[in-house]
Structure 1
Amino acid sequence: MKIDAFCHLLPAAYAERLFAIDDSPVARNIQKRVSGVPALVDMDERFRVMDEFGSDYRQIVNTAAPPLDDLGPAARTAELARIANDGMADLVSRHPDRFAGFCAAVALDDVDNAIAETERAFDELGAVGVQIYTHVGGGPMDQERFFPFYEAVARRGNKMIQVHPCRDSSWSDYKTEERSKFEIWWTLGWEYDLSAFMSRLVFSGVFERLPDIKILIHHGGAMIPHFAGRVGAGWDQLGTRTPADQSDDIAGYPLTQRPIDYFKKFYVDTAYFGAGDAMRTAIRFFGVDHTLFASDTPFDPEKGPGYIRDTIANLQEMDILDDDDREQIYHRNVTDLLRLDGAATRSNALEDEVLS
């Protein structure tokens, strides 16, 4: 059994509304990108892709980037969230053999509305979590105004926050330039975004204040596991590199553990696009118990199956894992984390039906 815990799609009504937006450069960009990835919208094509991996392969889905906050005024983004969540809930309800759940879309340009929509998605639609991005309007996610949102999710206990990066080419690579070149903003910038998001949440004390919060970081925790020495011994010396007149830059919530210990409280996925050595490093850093199988489908060159196939191959070949470890990563961790009791039941029922 494999539950792919971070997959993207666009429900039909949401895609129609998204494609009707004509006053947003961000919307035009996703309109162009989606047109080349049919499995985002066409469920027949998506199911054809999924069939390669057998009846025990299922997905937890969310909407594809960009963040709703970037698509216009608050009234529009709130409408888009409702349409997206209603659409994902409908797909999960009609295809439980394909989808194990969905993570709600929210627009954090209005925190109160985001909390209300999150709670509606949890209580009325059965969402297993909520997807957010690494910044809102270019601002950091450790601002105190976002704390009530984190608190609202944390108190549910069995719901997770998925975190996706979101910078674009307007984030230049150098101070002297106006735009990022060669898609560096995507290849490297997104991983910096995720790493900075994690760091700001750690030093803002989110795990001290909300010890039950469950945050899943996309792309295997990005840069953090690969710079463990700097995150560990380096940040143990926080303040030694900062001049006295810049002391406000290192003022954060009082922590009771080493910074590196808080980073290991994040959950991460296996969306490494076939980079097995990088995945191995992440699993060693965060641990098997904090690693969830995920592929980031359907954004591979094949528009669907490639990253799923490569991720499974990486896990099967990884000599630091035994069969029990693989079972944990493939489905047990996410099932336990989100209390997906129905997931195993439906899978077993399908298996019994096939056998009979």
Structure 2
Amino acid sequence: MKQRIASVDIFRGLTIALMILVNTPGTWSSVYPPLLHAEWHGYTPTDLVFPFFLFIVGTSIVFAYRNKTPGPAVYKKIGIRSLKLIGLGLFLGAFTLSFPFIEPFEQIRFPGVLQRIGVVFLAASLLYLHLNWKALLGLAAFILLGYWVWMGFIPLEGQVPTFDRAPNNWANYVDLHVFGTHMYKPDYDPEGLLSTLPSIVTAIFGIFTGLLLLSERKDKLRRMLFTGFVLVVLGHLWDLVFPINKALWTSSFVLVTAGWANVLLGLIYYLTDVRGMRFGSLFSYAGANAITVYFLSSFISKLFYMISVGEGQSVHGWLFQTLFVHEGLPLEFSSLLYGLAVVAFYLWLGWWMYRRKIFIKV
């Protein structure tokens, strides 16, 4: 019988809810600053959300594969799941309502959130199956230090490299030359190729926490909180020479986000698994079908922007203007209410699927 740790399920579902919230405001022109990404360097609460999900992917890998023996059957299962995630991400990027329902090839974005989840899941699962925690720690340090050296010290076509959004930024340079027009922006992609390397370390930190949670240690909470505090401090110190940056997924960003993930998961662990409080069950229901809920939210949101209801207004715009925009309410608040309503719907959907024992494994 598999050991269930309530806090892990709640954390996963909470992260999905936050991903939906920050991705679906009523209008992007009026959003409270904490619900927007940092323009470049630095971070906001929104910048924590995606790394939190990759972190809990790593934690979940420990639960899923701790009794698995590496071999063809396990590799096949991991590979198929990774390809499904990548395929769903490519579908989201390519879908359009115009026949043949695919964007012109040169406009299709190749990287994306689900694609990165698929690649990180593949790499982290294989690493967990074949390396002990000491080897994983050594590899994580090697990647983070190596990424810093690559990004900050190796000349790029005779120029001094930069961490700014510029042609002589290594991550932007690699993405532009590999993906060309298939990127989020003409000069960079927040889920780009080179920055995927440190994002794997985010999942590795999640693996460490998963190993701790399944251990027989009595001081799990203290270790999670202490580890989180140390990582946040180290990340901010590294920020002095390697800026915290989500778009580049810098090494300092990895440490800071993994630190905050440990702190938040530790607090939820204390409330649910230590104190036994019935807290956050609604999030755990959504977490049971996390990828399905996220995919549906992204796909339906895209449809709502594409489908017109007349006079050039989309379904999204009509719903927002009709139901949420009222005289006397700040537009930012109306925009937030729309996002919260969308989150509420998908939390209900997660609950409905859970109650009917519908679990779609991606």
Greater relative CO, 1 or 2 (CA 8 Å, sep 6+) = 2
The structure whose residues are more often helix, as a share, is: 2
TM over 0.5: no
The structure whose residues are more often strand, as a share, is: 1
Instruction: Calculate the TM-score normalised by the size of structure 2.
Output: 0.30
Instruction: Calculate the TM-score normalised by the size of structure 1.
Output: 0.31
